[in-house]
Structure 1
Amino acid sequence: MIHTKLIIRFGLLVAFVMVTLSCDPDDKQQVTTKNNLVWQDEFSVDGALDPLIWGADIGNGDAEGIPGWGNGERQYYTDRPENMVVENGVLKITALKESFQGSDYTSARILTKGKYQKKFGRFEARIKLPWGQGLWPAFWMLGDDNNGEQAWPQIGEIDIMEYRGQEPTVVHGSMHGPGYSGGQAVTKQYDLITDRLDTDFHVYGIEWGPGYVNYYIDDVLYNQITREDVSGDWVFDDNEFYIIMNLAVGGTFVGAPGLHTVYPQTMYIDYVRVYQ
C-alpha cells in the first residue's frame, strides 16, 4: 500500500542553461507513467533504515582506495542515527561538524547496491535540501560493476540531482561515462529563480529509456541527454543501476566548507519511488 503524501508542484517557466543541449518538450520521449509503481520506500517506520532495501557506505574512502571518495570530500560517512534516521515519515541525512575518525565532519551515504537494481524506468524522490557553502547533497545512480570487474566511469553514472549548498535555487542533472567523466560530464542546470530548494520539498526525477535520459524537477522537463550528446561510449543501456543518496561536505564540485555554514545541516527525503 502506498503511503499518500502531499506533493507540491510548481509551474516553472524560466531555466538558466549551463550547457547548451536541445530541450524542446515536443521532442521528448516519455517512457513511463506514474501508474505502474514497482519499487518504493516511503520512510513510514521511524528508526533505522530497512536493511533489506538500503546499505550504507562507511568511512572517508581510504579503504576503497579513493580518499575523499575521489572528489576531495571532507566528511566521514557513518550509519549512526546522528547521521541518518527516519523520523515522522521522513529520512534525515545529517552532516555534523565534529572530530570523528580523523575527519572534521560526519554525514551518511546510503545505497541499494545488491538489494535493488534496475534498468530503465522513472526514478524520483521528494527532497528538501540543506543550505550553506560547501554542502553537496546528491540523488544519483551507478551501474552494476559486475562484482568489481568493471570500474567507474565505464559502469556509468546518472546524477538525478546534484546541488551546491551556496546556490540554493539551482539544481544540476548530469551524466558521467567513459570519455565524459569528472569535469567533462554532460550536464545542465536549472534555476528556479523565484523559489529555493532548501525551504520546501521538490520532486527530482529522471525517465530513462534506450538511448536517452530525461531530467525533471517537479515534473518540469529541463534536460535530455541522448547517445548523440556524449563524447564517448553510451553505457546506459548495458546494465542495471542502483540508487545512492548522500550529503557530502566539501569537494571539487562545491569547494571548501564555508566558515559561516551552520551545522547540523540536513537533507530531508520524503520518499523514493520507481515506476516502470
Structure 2
Amino acid sequence: MEYRNMLLVASTSLLLAACSQHTFKIPEAQTQHHQANPSDQIVWAINSGGDAYLSSDGIQYQADAIKMASGDASHVVIAKGTILGTQDPNLYLSSRQGETIAYQQPLANGTYSVTLRFAEDQWTQEGKRQFSVWIEGQQRIPVIDVVNDRDGRNMTSYDISVPNVELEDGQLNIDFKAATGKASISAIVVRKPYQVDKDWQLLWQDEFNQDGRVDETKWNYELWAPKRVNEELQRYTDRSENVRQQGGNLIIEARRDFFQGDEYSSARITSAGKGDLLYGRVEVRAKLPDGLGTWPAIWMMPSDFDAYAESCEDPTDEQKLCNSWPNSGEIDILEHVGFDEGRIHSTMHNKAFFWKNFKQRKGALYEPDVTHNFHLYAMEWSPERIDVFIDDTLYFSYINDHQGWQSWPFDKPFHVILNIAVGGGWGGIKGVADDIWPKQMLIDYVRLYQKKSLT
C-alpha cells in the first residue's frame, strides 16, 4: 500500500504510547534466526538465452543451451544497459524472443509453480509487446505487457508466478504466444509446493470467532479522512457498517454511502503496539473483493515509524513532513487492484528501492479465483531474507544485501495492517465504478509465529 506523496503522521507513535499498558507485544527474535531455504523446492531453473547464473536468493539457473521444442521460433537477444528493480540485473539482460517460444522440460509428475521473469529491452510504451502464457496446454496468463505490468517502465524487471501446475505426462510444456510484437522471456523457475517448517511457534492470533466489534486488545482503528494518503477516496471509520466480526470472519466493507459527506467509507485496522513482530511468519487467510476501484491490502509497517527518519519538522505536528517513509520500510504481503482482477502483488519499500527511483522490488502472481475463494497469504522474515507466499507457492523474495539500513530497514518490529482503499493513485488508475458497492474483504484469521527455539 504505497505512501505516494505521503503526509506522514505521528498518530502511530502516540497510539503505541497510549496502549502500552494493555498490549501483548511479541518478543523480538535473536539474530541467529534461520528458516527453511525456499531454494530447496526448485526442480528446474533456466536463464533464457544466457549462461549459467547463481542468483542472490540462491537459485542456480542453468545455461540456455538446450535444443528448443518443435514449434519454437525464437532467437536470443542481449539487452544493453542496466535492468532496474531487481537484485539480479544480469539475469534479465538475456532473453528469448519470437512470435512463439516453446520450452519442454522432462520432470516427474506432480504439482508445481512456475515463476516467469521478464524485462522489456526495446519498447518504452505499453501495447507494443503483448503475449500470452500457456502451460500444459492451458492459457494461464491471458496477457503479458511488461511495460504496462511494470508501472510503465522498460529496462525494469517483472516477475510473475503461476501456481498449481499439474504435470501428468512427465514433460513440462511452457509456451509463449505473441499477440502484438514478439513474445519474450528472460528466465524460468519451477518449484515444488513449499513445505512450511514445523519449528514455527504460534505467538499471537485472532480467529474472529465472536460476532461484533473487533477485539481492541489486539487491534486499533485508524480514523482517516479521504485523500490523506495516495489520493484515496474513502473515509476510514470504526462503524460496524465498515468493520465487524461476523460468522467466523473479520469483514472489512467498503461502501458508497456518503457518510459524513464523503462518497466512500471503509476501514483500516492495525495491530500496532498489540501484535508487533521482529522476524517470524505471518499468516492471513482471506478472500479479496472484486470491482473497479477496489484496492485491498494485507501489509506491515514499522511500529517505530521514525526508526530511520533522517529529517523531520516538529515531531508533535500530525501533518509533519518527514522521510520516515520510505526510510523505515514497508512490507506489502498482498495488494490487489480491481481493474486487474486475479493478479496479486507483493512489494518491499525502503530508501534504496522505491517507486520514485524506479528501483522498487516486487513480485506478482496470477490466480483468477482470489476474489472468489479464500487463500492463505503468508510471509516469512529472517535477518537474511523475506519470502512471500500464497498458499504453498512462493512468489516473491527480498534478500538482505548487507548494504545498510537504506536497503534493509527490516530489523525493527513491524505490525499488521488490513484495509480496503477506494480509488487512489493505483487502485483508481482506471476509474472507480459507482454501481458495485458494498464490497467486502473477508479474513478468516491472522496468526503470527516465531521459531520454537527462540520463544
TM-score by length of 1: 0.83
Q: Which residue of 1 is the match for residue 113 of structure 2?
A: 13
Q: Which residue of 2 is the match for residue 121 of structure 1?
A: 280
Residues 1:57 and 2:218 aligned together: no
Pick from 276, 284, 296: which aligns with 1:137?
Answer: 296
Residues 1:234 and 2:407 aligned together: yes
Give per-residue Cα distances to partners, 1:238-271, cap 9 Å, x unaligned: 2100110000000112225433650000000000
Shift of 1:32: 4.9
Q: Which residue of 2 is the match for residue 167 of structure 1?
A: 340
Q: How does 1:26-175 map onto structure 2 within 5 Å?
A: 32-33=197-198, 35-60=200-225, 68-145=227-304, 150=309, 151-175=324-348
Supply the distance in 1 between the matched residues of 2:218 and 2:266 (Cα, whole angstroms). Answer: 19
Secondary structure at the aligned position of 1:197 is classed as: helix
Matched-pair contact (CA < 8 Å) for 2:202–2:447: yes
Q: Which residue of 2 is the match for residue 215 of structure 1?
A: 388
Deviates more, 1:153-162 or 1:141-150: 141-150
Shift of 1:49: 0.5
Secondary structure at the aligned position of 1:153 is classed as: helix
Supply the distance in 2 between the matched residues of 1:236 and 1:202 (Cα, whole angstroms). Answer: 28
- Report the residue type matching 1:135 in the other structure: T
Residues 1:267 and 2:441 aligned together: yes
- Report the residue type matching 1:216 in the other structure: F
Give the unaligned 5+ runs of structure 1: 1-10, 62-67
Shift of 1:54: 0.0
Shift of 1:139: 0.3
Deviates more, 1:206-215 or 1:176-185: 176-185
Task: Say if 1:40 and 1:56 are closer, same or farther in 2 by CA, change over 3 A.
Answer: same
- Report the residue type matching 1:187 in the other structure: K
Q: Which residue of 1 is the match for residue 416 of structure 2?
A: 243
Matched-pair contact (CA < 8 Å) for 1:98–1:104: yes
- Report the residue type matching 1:213 in the other structure: I
Q: Which residue of 2 is the match for residue 204 of structure 1?
A: 377
Deviates more, 1:216-225 or 1:240-249: 216-225
- Report the residue type matching 2:439 in the other structure: Q
Q: Which residue of 2 is the match for residue 6 of structure 1?
A: none
Matched-pair contact (CA < 8 Å) for 1:15–1:191: no
Supply the distance in 1 between the matched residues of 2:435 and 2:403 (Cα, whole angstroms). Answer: 36
Shift of 1:196: 1.4
Give the unaligned 5+ runs of structure 2: 1-110, 118-149, 151-156, 160-186, 310-323, 451-455
Matched-pair contact (CA < 8 Å) for 2:220–2:270: yes
Q: Which residue of 2 is the match for residue 3 of structure 1?
A: none
Q: Which residue of 1 is the match for residue 100 of structure 2?
A: none
Secondary structure at the aligned position of 1:98 is classed as: coil
Give per-residue Cα distances to partners, 1:48-71, cap 9 Å, x unaligned: 01110000110226xxxxxx2321
- Report the residue type matching 1:53 in the other structure: K
TM-score by length of 2: 0.52
Equivalent pairs, count: 256
Give per-residue Cα distances to partners, 1:8-63, cap 9 Å, x unaligned: xxx5634465544699578xx999547421111100111001110000110226xx
- Report the residue type matching 2:345 in the other structure: H
Deviates more, 1:197-206 or 1:149-158: 149-158
- Report the residue type matching 2:231 in the other structure: G
Pick from 342, 360, 364: which aligns with 1:189?
Answer: 364
Higher helix fraction: Structure 1 or Structure 2? 2
Give per-residue Cα distances to partners, 1:101-156, cap 9 Å, x unaligned: 34210000000111121111110100001111110000000012267884211111
Q: Which residue of 1 is the match for residue 120 of structure 2?
A: none
Supply the distance in 1 between the matched residues of 2:198 and 2:190 (Cα, whole angstroms). Answer: 16
Matched-pair contact (CA < 8 Å) for 1:31–1:121: no
